[in-house]
Chains A and B, each alone.
Chain A
Amino acid sequence: MKQFLSFVKKEFHHIGRDKRTLFILLGMPIMQILIFGFALTNEVKNSQIAIFDQSNDLATQTLRSELDASRYFDIAQDLHSYQEIEGAFKKGKIKLAVIFPENFANHLNHFNTAQVQLIADASDPNVANTLTNYATAIIMDYQDRITNNRQLPYTIKTEMRMLYNPQLKGAYSFVPGVMAMVLMLVCTLMTAITIVREKELGTMEIMLVSPMQPFKIVVAKAVPYLLLSVVNITSILLLSVFVLDVPINGSLLLLIFESILYTLTCLAFGLFISTKTDSQQTAMFIALTGMFLPTIMLSGFMFPIENMPLPLRIISNIVPAKWFYYIVKEVMIKGLGIAAVWKETLVLTGMLLFLLVLSIRSFKIRLA
């Protein structure tokens, strides 16, 4: 035990001396949460639009002020000819143009139908889609109001409710995503590097000649990073609750337990990398391509797995982040208990055990 403690103490000295890395390790989750929370949002807010109103009557003016009043749009420009439309898009200022033809109100009143054209900048298809949906909704809203008094032959009204995230906030999905990413980075990358560094330095040899068991060396290496991860989990959760207003709907205890399970899996993966490599560069490269990229691409955090081709969907199953991301969403956002996530928890536990057995075995083989 005393051996073990002196080793852990030494690891803390290493981490403490390297202020820059420590700063990155502890600052990164905070930075990422803030960047995702305030800058990199896929919600559409205050998009600049242009209006080409050839009718300029009561109906178009009402619609115009309603578009302007919504938090999605700001009218940046009034157009006066079709030629101007393309120019406005080319300048890149506006994302959407709304075009009312001549005699809009007249047509509406006398023929019961009128047309409005929405032209969107589809160089970003998701944004274009969202903007036209929002604009259509505002226009439909207006139509509902003016038809209120008249009897239409058939109408189907859809009523939507967004469960768990009624305001459709992006934070609900990226908080779990950032957790999966940061823990992976700290644990896998740092454990792999720190063990391989000892090999490069030649200190690993000294350690192996000492009476300290290899197993203890490995555990002692992992302890500081486990603690760092707990600090990171705490700061991410505090930020998401108090700054981003993402509530923890489920059990905090369960959430922390799952996070630690995931952390251990990442540590075991880092350990496995370190037993297979001899240089820090190789270790870093493997950790980044083997773990970091799949975590971003295949966890469902950035891109929905359901839409991927079958081979990718199958591969995504071996990415621990995918399971963790799912668990966090279920527990934190939906407020579900262990009954809802026990299968995913088992998968993570299985991965952890598999990686541990694998790395302890290859650690021993190296010694023989």
Chain B
Amino acid sequence: MITNNTAIQAETLTKRFGDFTAVDAISFEVKKGEIFGFLGANGAGKTTAMRMLCGLSIPTSGKATVAGFDVYKQTEHIKRSIGYMSQKFSLYEDLTVKENIRFYAGIYGKSDAFIKEKTAFLLKELHLEAEANKLVRSLPLGWKQKLAFSVAIFHEPEIVFLDEPTGGVDPVTRREFWNMIYKAAESGITIFVTTHYMDEAEYCNRVSIMVDGRIDALDTPAQLKRTFEVRSMDEVFLKLARKAKRAAD
């Protein structure tokens, strides 16, 4: 059932490339303001599923809506309602902090007044006022990552997709990064996040685990641990991922 409270809804969503079924009839629902962990080993089909939800890839069959828009016909509307941050660092190193913010806000068609006001607010929050006119290249990786997240939600999307956002970041910065995610979720943004760190999975409201293109488990971290009779998400993941027949890519 799609309700006003649903951010993402997928029903037997499938993507095939020739004979290969990358995503095999997955069904799930993400509520508004929820932090939804999307887990799976490499090659399990996470990225393909995410690309379909972002409107980058057309599903082979099944149904899905993102922010209430259909992934087949309303991809343009979807793109306006979502933010995206990829595992690759996605700011321009040869542009300044301010120029990066301006650019990304600009391609979402935000007004100058909006950009100006929000940039000032954001720089203050990230304690980056002194670095506003410095090249992004000169910032430490942790700051870049936090900046990239802020840029991804700058245009105030309903949902933000984070594709392994904390790869290569130290534990302290990771913790700070998750504080930002919580803050964004509190302000009503739905978070859809993939990760390989099981401690991060614990931070999510609900977690789904993909194995060989299917969703094999979907529940709160606490409930998952109870179901699989283990103490940590790590063990849950290992129990499921070991069943995988598909080779990781």
Contact = CB atoms under 8 A, between A and B. Distances in A.
Interface of A: 2-3, 5-7, 9-10, 13-14, 17-18, 201-203, 205-212, 367-368
Contacts of B102: 6, 9
Contact of B99 (A13, A201, A206, A208): A13
Contacts of B107: 3, 6-7, 207, 210-212
Interface string B42-64: 00000000000011111000000
A188 to B, nearest CB: 22
13 contacts: A2-B109, A6-B103, A13-B99, A14-B95, A18-B94, A202-B88, A206-B84, A206-B86, A209-B56, A209-B84, A210-B84, A210-B108, A367-B56
Nearest to A368: B58
A10 B135 CA distance: 13
B103 A10 contact: yes
A361 B103 CA distance: 27
B27 interface: no
A5 B106 contact: yes
Given A7-B107, A10-B92, A211-B76, 7 more contacts: A13-B94, A17-B95, A203-B92, A207-B107, A209-B79, A210-B104, A368-B57
Nearest to B115: A6
Contact of A14 (B57, B86, B92): B92
A13 B95 contact: yes
Contacts of A18: 94
A210 B110 CA distance: 12
B106 A2 contact: yes
Contacts of A211: 76, 79-80, 107-109
Contacts, number: 81
Contacts of B82: 209
Interface string B72-105: 0000100110101111111110110001001111
Identify the interface centre among A7, A9, A205: most chain B CB within 10 Å of its CB: A205
Contact of B106 (A6, A367, A368): A6
List 3 A-B pairs, minimum CB-CB distance, nearest first: A6-B106, A202-B88, A209-B84
A297 B135 CA distance: 42
Contacts of A17: 94-95, 135
A211 B57 CA distance: 15
B242 to A, nearest CB: 31
A210 B106 CA distance: 11
Nearest to B103: A10
Given A210-B108, A367-B56, A205 B94 contact: no
Contacts of B76: 211
